[in-house]
Amino acid sequence: MAKKKTAEERRRRAEELKAQRIKEERRKRAWKIAGVSTAAALVVGLLVFAVVMEFRSRNIAGVEEFEGVTNNHLDMGQRVDYEESPPVGGDHWDSWQNCGVYPEPVTPELAVHSLEHGAVWINYDPELPEEEIQALNDMYNAGDYLLVTPYEGEMEAPIVASSWARQITAESADDEDLHRYVQLYERGQDVPEPGAACSGQFSETAPQIEEQLGQAGGQQEENGSADEDAEDEGSEEETG
């Protein structure tokens, strides 16, 4: 009888262990399903959020788009007559304007090259109140692909933000569409040279660039005159 009881106990114990294993496996399976479902729901939620945000961003009111924008590189000093004011792209110099905040206007042919790299260029009327100008300057953080400069040419509004082949106007620095525009198009990928640098080149303002070009032109004239004088002297010696 003792052996029979022991066998029954072993069988019962085995059945209990089997039942526990089944229960544990079901519990683990339930957790896995719950985990996968949660992860899937999270992914779907993020995708939906991204799509909604993209839709809302792409439908920023007042964004004007331009077609047929050229992007030829020109020698420094070669001027471009841009159709838009401020420019939204076009031919430009080989070098670019470093992104950042400037107290004076910058050279369009340099700034347009920055747009080609994915920068947003915020131009403002120099007559704006100081607090408005400061608010615009504060939009820039170190490393941003953003130019903030005064603009002395004609503009349709006190503030105009340009990216490659796009532009938006604003009446004040706290315009929500302006901020959404910068958020969407800063470091934009639908540009001719996405990811290219917006630093390491020119930090001079337009007046400083003009001075440099003037000095370079004067030096070239001096060198040309010196060469002509040398040729004349050589001719006189041969004649003599």
For 179-225, the pLDDT digits (tens) are: 999 999 999 999 999 999 999 999 999 999 999 999 876 565 555 55
Total of domains in the chain: 2
Instruction: Please check whether residues 194 and 117 belong to one and the same domain.
Output: yes
Instruction: Please check whether residues 173 and 96 belong to one and the same domain.
Output: yes
The amino acid occupying position 143 is: G
Instruction: Please check whether residues 102 and 173 belong to one and the same domain.
Output: yes
By C-alpha distance, which of 20, 152, 8, 173 is closest to 85?
152
Task: Give 54-87 pLDDT, tens digit per residue.
Answer: 554 567 989 999 999 999 999 999 999 999 999 9
What is the chain's mean pLDDT, rounded?
86
Radius of gyration from C-alpha coordinates of the chain: 33
Euclidean distance between CA atoms 43 and 207, whole angstroms: 52
Which of 59, 80, 98 finishes a domain? 59
66 phi/psi in degrees, rounded to 5: -125, 145
- pLDDT at residue 228, as a whole number: 60
Domain assignment of residue 100, yes or no: yes
Instruction: Please check whether residues 51 and 70 belong to one and the same domain.
Output: no
- Contact yes or no for 66/88 (Cβ under 8 A): yes
Q: Within 10 A of 117 (CB to CB), how many other CB atoms are there?
A: 21
Instruction: Please check whether residues 189 and 108 belong to one and the same domain.
Output: yes
- Contact yes or no for 70/91 (Cβ under 8 A): yes
Helices 2-58 and 176-185 sit at what angle, rounded to 10 degrees? 110
Q: Of 3-17, 94-108, 148-162, 168-182, where does mean pLDDT reach its minimum?
A: 3-17
Domain assignment of residue 30, yes or no: yes
Tell me which residue range forms the domain holding 69.
64-203
- pLDDT at residue 56, as a whole number: 47
CB within 8 Å of 183: residues ≥ 6 apart: 57
Instruction: Please check whether residues 50 and 70 belong to one and the same domain.
Output: no
- pLDDT at residue 49, as a whole number: 47
Domain assignment of residue 4, yes or no: yes
**Exposed (0-12), middle (13-18) or buried (19+): which is 56, by Cβ within 10 Å?**
exposed
Instruction: Please check whether residues 35 and 17 belong to one and the same domain.
Output: yes
Domain assignment of residue 231, yes or no: no
CA 217 to chain centre: 34
Instruction: Please check whether residues 51 and 3 belong to one and the same domain.
Output: yes
Q: Is this model's pTM higher than 0.95 or not? A: no
Domain assignment of residue 225, yes or no: no
CA 236 to chain centre: 61
Q: What percent of the chain has pLDDT over 90?
A: 64
Instruction: Please check whether residues 52 and 79 belong to one and the same domain.
Output: no
Euclidean distance between CA atoms 109 and 87, whole angstroms: 9
